[in-house]
């Protein structure tokens, strides 16, 4: 696929803008570029490689001649327009949850299961959930060496995970509090400024949220571990960008810290930042706008045999969404 014709669906959204930046920064060989969005955004002008590109309204006829369609406009849009793009001959790389757990749709993290892109009978490849990607970037090298058995995780998720409205809500509440003014939460069920909220997505019948269950379902599919056990608590925190995850990982084989560190040497997309004596450990600001996920606080778990505790941080807009999609396109 030389110099493909690329379309970005949801081009004016936060992830769509990041996709455009990734294509340019990574010198992706774009032959032609089409930017698509809702009728509200049609006509807006964006820049790619120094040239202006006018955003077009998304329709079912938007994909003639398109080779790769990057979707980042929500699950309903993906379900409605993704099949149309595929029927037109485009390979759809979808950032929503619409197709992730479909048996005939590959769910891909390029550093972990790049071979899965070959399996696309429907012409669709799914991008995993952002916290799943960030967590598995840290766990996959350990799994290769020790055999991953179970995960207990707590996530600390930035407000940009809710889109521009999440950022605006935090900013507005911070300003209101500084000026001693009243406000009413709209995006989140409780105040997010100076607070944390132990709910991301809606609750399911088992007491976990949909976001929390994604870690298990998607982790099993990506890693090829149908029996993987995962217990997860997802928390929204008053951070603008980059998600953090605290992980206890249990393995089939004995594991120690030195051996775990060695697993990360030379691996793409990850870096170890772990020197607590000198206050060196990953924080969200370290990864914002960056490609790599950072891993720190690696230590033996004091409860389970053959288990490690670790802390991983990654930019959920970049590696957790836009960059991962562009990396899939690079494989194609």
Exposure letters 230-247 (e unless 16+ CB within 10 A, then b) = bebbbebbbbebbbbbbb
Let me know if 130 is a catalytic residue: yes
Let me know if 243 is a catalytic residue: yes
- Select which of 22, 130, 232, 293 is catalytic: 130
User: How far separated are the first and last CA of the chain, in Å rounded?
Assistant: 7
What is the spatial order of strands in the sheet that 229-236 belongs to? 229-236, 148-157, 243-251, 307-314, 293-300, 270-272
Q: Distance (Å, rounded) from C-alpha 185 to C-alpha 173? A: 8
- Select which of 22, 243, 263, 293 is catalytic: 243
Do the Cβ atoms of 6 and 30 come closer than 8 Å? yes
The set of residues, in sequence order, having a beta carbon less than 8 Å from that of 199 and lying 6+ positions away, is 189, 209, 234, 236
- Residue 52 has which token pair? 């202006």
Is 310 exposed, middle or buried (CB count within 10 Å of its CB: 0-12, 13-18, 19+)? Answer: buried
The catalytic site residues sit at 130, 243
């Amino acid at each position: 696929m030389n110099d493909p014709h690329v379309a970005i669906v949801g081009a004016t959204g936060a992830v769509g803008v990041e996709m455009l930046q990734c294509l340019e920064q990574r010198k992706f060989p774009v032959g032609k570029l089409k930017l698509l969005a809702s009728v509200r955004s049609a006509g807006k002008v964006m820049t790619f490689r120094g040239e202006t590109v006018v955003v077009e309204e998304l329709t079912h006829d938007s994909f003639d001649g398109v080779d790769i369609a990057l979707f980042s406009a929500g699950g309903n849009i993906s379900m409605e327009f993704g099949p149309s793009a595929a029927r037109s001959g485009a390979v759809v790389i979808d950032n929503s949850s619409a197709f992730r757990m479909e048996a005939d749709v590959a769910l891909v993290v390029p550093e972990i299961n790049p071979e899965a892109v070959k399996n696309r009978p429907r012409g669709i490849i799914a991008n995993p959930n952002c916290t799943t990607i960030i967590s598995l970037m840290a766990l996959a090298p350990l799994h290769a060496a020790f055999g991953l058995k179970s995960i207990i995780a707590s996530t600390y998720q930035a407000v940009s995970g809710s889109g521009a409205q999440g950022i605006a809500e935090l900013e507005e509440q911070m300003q209101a509090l500084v000026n001693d003014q009243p406000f009413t939460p709209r995006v989140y069920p409780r105040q997010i400024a100076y607070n944390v909220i132990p709910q991301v997505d809606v609750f399911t019948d088992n007491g976990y949220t949909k976001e929390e269950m994604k870690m298990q379902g998607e982790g099993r599919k990506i890693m090829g571990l149908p029996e993987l056990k995962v217990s997860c608590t997802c928390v929204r925190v008053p951070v603008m960008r980059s998600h953090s995850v605290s992980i206890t990982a249990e393995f089939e084989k004995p594991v120690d810290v030195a051996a775990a560190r060695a697993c990360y040497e030379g691996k793409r997309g990850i870096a170890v930042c772990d020197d607590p004596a000198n206050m060196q450990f990953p924080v969200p600001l370290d990864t914002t706008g960056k490609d790599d996920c950072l891993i720190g606080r690696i230590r033996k778990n004091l409860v389970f045999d053959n288990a490690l505790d670790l802390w991983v941080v990654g930019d959920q807009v970049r590696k957790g969404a836009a960059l991962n999609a562009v990396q899939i396109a690079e494989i194609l």
